[in-house]
Chains A and B, each alone.
Chain A
Amino acid sequence: SQQGEEDPQALSIQEGENATMNCSYKTSINNLQWYRQNSGRGLVHLILIRSNEREKHSGRLRVTLDTSKKSSSLLITASRAADTASYFCATGANSGYSTLTFGKGTMLLVSP
C-alpha cells in the first residue's frame, strides 16, 4: 500500500508562476523526500526533509513538513518549461520494508 498521496494529480501553469504540490501520508515517518521524473526517464532526488525539520530550501525549491497534519508541500518558484515533469513524494518509516514508499505523483506542465 502506498504511504504518500500527492495533490493535485495534475497542474498546469505558465512560465514564471509558482507551482505548489502537496503530499499527505498516513503513518509516522522518519523523513520525507521529493523526486522528479521527466517523461520516460528515471527519478531524480530533489530534497530530503527530516521529521524534526519544518522547512527546507534548495535553489528554487521550498519544502515544508507538518508532522501534526501528516503533510508536506513542494513549492517551485518562478517555474520554467524545463520544470515540466512528474513530482513524487516518498516517505520512509521504521515499520514495513524500511525503504521508501512513493505516492502516485503530480504531473506538472509549465507552458512557455
Chain B
Amino acid sequence: NAGVTQTPKFRVLKTGQSMTLLCAQDMNHEYMYWYRQDPGMGLRLIHYSVGEGTTAKGEVPDGYNVSRLKKQNFLLGLESAAPSQTSVYFCASSYERGLDTEAFFGQGTRLTVV
C-alpha cells in the first residue's frame, strides 16, 4: 500500500521556468492538500480539494495553480517559478475533511528555484 506518493522528490528550476508536481493517493480519499514548508514558518496551505473536479485556495495560493481531474491525483503547477517558491512541498490526503480525521502525507518535494 503506497499511501501518498509525490513526484518528483527533488527539482532545481531556473527563474521563469514552469513545472508540475504530481501527488497520487491510493486510499480513495476525497480530500487532498498541498502545503509548503519553509524554515521557521511551519506548514502553510497552498490549495486544497474536497473532491474530484474541485479546488480551493488556501493561505498562500499566489503563483500556484492546481487541478484534480481524477480523484486519486492532485497536481500543483508553477507557471513561472520565482526564487521565493524555493521550499519543500508536501501533499496530503484525508478520508474526511481535515478537521475531523488524520491526514496522510507524502514524502515531500524539495524544490530550488535559482
Contacts and interface: CB of A to CB of B under 8 A. Distances in A.
B107 to A, nearest CB: 5
B43 interface: yes
A100 B103 contact: yes
A1 B60 CA distance: 10
Interface of A is mostly: loop
Interface stretch (A11-19, A63-71, A88-96): A88-96
A45 interface: yes
Contacts of A1: 59
Contacts of A33: 102
Interface in A35-52: 40-45, 48
B45 interface: yes
A81 to B, nearest CB: 22
Given A97-B58, A104-B42, A42 B106 contact: yes
A77 interface: no
B74 interface: no
Interface residues of B, number: 28
Nearest to A45: B102
Q: Which of B56, B99, B100, B102 gathers most chain A CB within 10 Å?
A: B99
A102 interface: yes
A105 B42 contact: yes
Interface residues of A, number: 25
Nearest to A33: B102
Given A41-B108, A97-B48, A99-B58, A31 B42 contact: no
Contacts of A98: 97-99
21 contacts: A41-B107, A41-B108, A42-B106, A43-B90, A48-B102, A88-B42, A88-B43, A92-B97, A92-B100, A93-B99, A97-B45, A97-B48, A98-B99, A99-B48, A99-B99, A100-B45, A100-B103, A102-B43, A104-B40, A104-B42, A105-B42
Interface of B: 4, 31, 33, 35, 40-45, 48, 56, 58-59, 90, 92, 97-108
